[in-house]
Each structure stands twice: as structure tokens, then as C-alpha cells.
């Protein structure tokens, strides 16, 4: 297992998930929070190499993109 600040990575994932859990499915900021969870998971994957984190991050980013309306100004 790779070393680094594992506790910090874990805390970032927990904090991002907790923030996401406060939002309803319809909340306009939900895609952004889904992406924040994914970024935290990708950072943790970078430290640990745990493929489950990478897989969950990819799923989260797909969910975030799906939640953004097609005509949204930030959707490319």
C-alpha cells in the first residue's frame, strides 16, 4: 500500500460524502457535490491504488454529468 496522508484522504472522502448527503436529489448544486466526492476518491486512489475508489469516482462523475441539464452553461 502506498503511504501518504491516508487519514487525510479518508477524512476528505467522509466530509465530501457528508456534504452530499445534506442535498436533495433535485438540489441544483448536487452535481458539483457529486464531483467533489469523486475528486476526493480519486485523490485517495492516488495514494492507495484501491481500484474500488477509482471505480466509485468514475461512477460519481457519470452521475454528476447526468444530473446537469443539457442546456446548462457549464456543460461542455
Which pLDDT score, from 0 to 100, does residue 76 have?
65
pLDDT of residue 4: 55
Confidence (pLDDT) at 1: 45
Question: What is the spatial distance between Cα 48 and Cα 51, in angstroms, rounded to a whole number?
Answer: 9
> Mean pLDDT in each 10-residue stretch from start to end of the chain (76 residues)?
71 96 94 96 95 98 90 74
Domain positions in the chain: 6-67
Question: Three-state SS string across 54-65, please?
Answer: HHHHHHHHHHHH
Look-up of cell digits 501518504: 4
Amino acid at each position: 500500500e502506498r503511504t501518504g496522508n491516508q487519514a487525510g484522504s479518508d477524512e476528505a472522502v467522509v466530509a465530501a460524502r457528508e456534504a452530499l448527503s445534506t442535498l436533495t436529489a433535485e438540489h441544483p448544486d448536487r452535481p458539483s457535490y457529486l464531483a467533489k466526492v469523486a475528486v476526493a476518491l480519486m485523490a485517495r486512489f492516488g495514494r492507495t491504488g484501491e481500484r474500488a475508489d477509482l471505480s466509485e469516482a468514475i461512477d460519481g462523475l457519470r452521475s454528476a454529468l447526468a444530473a446537469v441539464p443539457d442546456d446548462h452553461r457549464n456543460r461542455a
